Amino acid sequence: MTASPAYPPPPSCKGVYPFRLGTTSFIFPDDYIPNVRVLAPCFDEIELLMFESRRPDSLPSKETVEALGRLSAETDTGYNVHLPTDVSLAAADGEERGWAADVLGRFIAATAPLSPSAYALHLPYEGYSADPEGVDQWRKAAARGIEALLGTGVRSDRLAVETLDYPFVWAAPLIEDYGLSVCMDIGHLILYGVDPLGFFERFRKKISLIHLHGVRFAGGDKSAGQDHVGLDEMAPNHFPSIMEILSAFEGVVSLEVFSYRHLVPSLRVLEDQWQRCREGNRK
């Protein structure tokens, strides 16, 4: 995939914001290298999506990683990695946790030559009750899984635990105890009714990575939301708090959308909202 009339390069935003702006490695219907070749000149970082681990080609080859490294050097673009989501460090079964740590460790080792700024990590809450006893069981299982992954040699502060569909305060003790960082997914927080600004104020010292994308609620139905759409589909009332967050953040912000049709409107909305924020601050 190269830039074409159907897919012209997106507007360049490299070095435009005080934070490092990126997007995902699957904006175009192609593999890592063709996507990065088009996107890297336009962004500060690329989020390498590695959601799946079970296909024979899931783990990037040495040749792919070497090519990504050359593109990084040529374009002065960094990477962050989204680790596979089809394994769980918080599984109740010890063998399953051990398998998860082994799988995630292999992905981390394979991409280590790229010096990723962060590894976005899911700690799913599955198979446990939502009462205090269930939360305690989940947290103890997750702690053992994290310890196994850290045993592979990965830096703890590079593991950014992502906000998912459960109260993040359940994971907060793990962040502190193991020196992990936080991946604040603003879209997920909005989808599940959590105030992003309040979350940011509470965890800002630990947040290394922000995922930003639109959330669409069909007919205002809060139980039927769809995330990972363009920012042009986000309700306008969310932008003041989002801009306040971004104005105080100097880490990596990834526009976590998965198509060109969602990326380009997101860039335009972000630019427009950023200019409004700056003009408001000057008044």
* HEC string for 81-101: EECCCCCCCCCCCHHHHHHHH
Q: Give me the number of domains the chain comprises.
A: 1
On whether residue 12 sits in a domain, the answer given is: no
On whether residue 113 sits in a domain, the answer given is: yes
On whether residue 8 sits in a domain, the answer given is: no
On whether residue 156 sits in a domain, the answer given is: yes
On whether residue 1 sits in a domain, the answer given is: no
Query: Quick check: 160 and 254 in contact, CB under 8 A?
Result: no
Q: State residue 281's pLDDT score.
A: 72
**C-alpha torsion sign, points 247, 251, 256, 262:** positive
Q: Which residue has the higher pLDDT, 204 or 2?
A: 204
Region 90-104: what's the mean pLDDT?
97
Query: Quick check: 50 and 81 in contact, CB under 8 A?
Result: yes
Q: State residue 7's pLDDT score.
A: 74
On whether residue 9 sits in a domain, the answer given is: no
pTM of the predicted model as reported, rounded to 2 decimal places: 0.95
Q: Residue 25 maps to which CATH number? A: 3.20.20.150
Which structural domain, as residue segments, surrounds residue 160? 20-282
Q: Which residue has the higher pLDDT, 233 or 281?
A: 233
User: CA 120, CA 146: separation in Å to the nearest integer?
Assistant: 13
On whether residue 140 sits in a domain, the answer given is: yes
Show Cβ contacts of residue 117 under 8 Å, excluding neighbours closer than 6 positions: 20, 45, 78, 79, 80, 158, 208, 209, 251, 252
Q: Please report, as a single letter, which amino acid is at residue 42.
A: C
Tokens encoding 193: 């009714």
Q: How confident is the model at residue 237 (pLDDT cuts 50, 70, 90)?
A: very high
Got the DSSP string for 180-226?
-EEEEEHHHHHHTT--HHHHHHHHTTTEEEEEE-EEEEGGG-TTSEE
On whether residue 169 sits in a domain, the answer given is: yes
What kind and span of H or E run contains 78? strand 78-82
Range from 1-10, 175-184, 247-256 carrying the lowest mean pLDDT: 1-10
